[in-house]
Structure 1
Amino acid sequence: MTLDTREVDEWIAEMTRQGWTHHYFPDREAPIAMASTFWHAGYVDVIQLFDHADAFAYRAPMEQWSGSGADPFKPAAVVWLYGGNPIWTIRATLGLPLPGSAQAPTMPEPPPPMCEVLPGIATKVRAVVIRPNTPSGYSADVVRQVPRNPVER
């Protein structure tokens, strides 16, 4: 997968300006998949990019740092989903009404099978996580310690 087209890069830059966290599998230079997350109160928006033709997004009810072990890439339910080319998928997700607004999606449904693709990739490779700048100005690349296979500890 290459995410080097100018328009996709511009949309990813816009997501970064809005505070999205980006996860590159296995790395930023040659990703086979990329996922971005944005946490709201009680929900997470997730966009997964697999190549220039395939992208998938959803909003899932989930609390950040809930201590429940909730994984934004393994939602128990979704309240909205969209799939298509990366640009339209990003635009549709960024255009979603904020949770809590009258127009925001709230009806939970079981996650579709597509939600299982990224967790499958994550069991084989580690992810590089690019976090947005925080109010304190701190930003860092962090390697998410994901075992290469389920037996590895």
Structure 2
Amino acid sequence: MRSAREMTGEPAVPLQSVDATPNTGQPTRRLTTKYQWPGHVDALLRRVADDGFLFYLCGDRGDPAVLVAAYYWDRHVDLITITPPGRVTAVRAIREASFDPFAPRKVVWAYGNDPEPTLLAALNLPHPDHPDHPASSFEPPRLAVVPAHLQRPTTVKAPEPWRAGNRARRLEQALAQELATMREAGLVPDGGTALRAAVVVTNRTAGSSV
């Protein structure tokens, strides 16, 4: 498994893979181990970083107990939570006032816990304005919630400027293309909400590149 520093572009440092929590004295499993992510999973993690996710490293910066990647939309937040030993949980949470990325209250989509299918599902999640976007909410899965004693200290790593906004632009372009195809097929009525969204998205993405 790659260390958190490697996944977020920081130089890797060798640290112990087991530590004790200050609150309980019980061993806490860490993300850094002598093993590496398989190559195909490593490539997916790089795509998550390239999508412009913000990273929260919980615990020691070089050897965190939990890593949370977050992408903030106007009304939702896409979260990818990585916990040892290699479990990955992805959700699209409702962005409420005082939103907590470590304890989302309601989600509209969730997937986990094997790394490869979960990362693929998160990367392929459609734009929140997609006409088929789920509207019903439910409680998040247990592994999407980070216990308080594992959250501190927390290091926040913002995406590089060239990465910031990549996910929004990529999914907006995909949404515009899909809605245009749906309109041509007669699946979206003229004047419908989805069609109006397509016009807005098309205007946003005109001339943009990822």
TM-score, length of structure 1 as denominator length: 0.73
Given candidates 89, 100, 103, the residue that maps to 2:118 is 89
Tell me how far 1:52 sits from its aligned partner: 4.7
Partner of 1:9: 42
Counterpart AA for 1:62? R
1:107 matched to 2:136? The reply is yes
Counterpart AA for 2:117? W
Cα distance in structure 2, aligned partners of 1:118 and 1:45: 19
Pairs within 5 Å for 1:31-70: 31-62=64-95, 68-70=97-99
Q: Which one has the bigger helix percentage?
A: 2
Structure with more contact order per residue of length (Cα contacts < 8 Å, sep ≥ 6)? 1
Counterpart AA for 1:112? P
Q: Which of 29-38 and 46-55 deviates more? A: 46-55
Which 5+ residue runs of structure 1 have no aligned equivalent?
Answer: 138-153
Counterpart AA for 2:99? A
CA change 1:103–1:118 in 2 (3 A) is farther
Q: Which of 26-35 and 13-22 deviates more? A: 26-35
Cα distance in structure 2, aligned partners of 1:43 and 1:120: 26
Which 5+ residue runs of structure 2 have no aligned equivalent?
Answer: 1-30, 165-210
Query: Number of aligned pairs?
Result: 130
Tell me how far 1:28 sits from its aligned partner: 4.2
1:80 matched to 2:109? The reply is yes
1:127 matched to 2:160? The reply is no
Cα distance in structure 1, aligned partners of 2:72 and 2:56: 14
Q: Report the aligned-residue RMSD.
A: 2.3
**CA offsets 1:24-48 (integer angstroms, 9 cap, x no match):** 1224421211110011221000000
Partner of 1:150: none
1:21 matched to 2:54? The reply is yes
Contact 1:96 1:104 in 2 (8 A): no
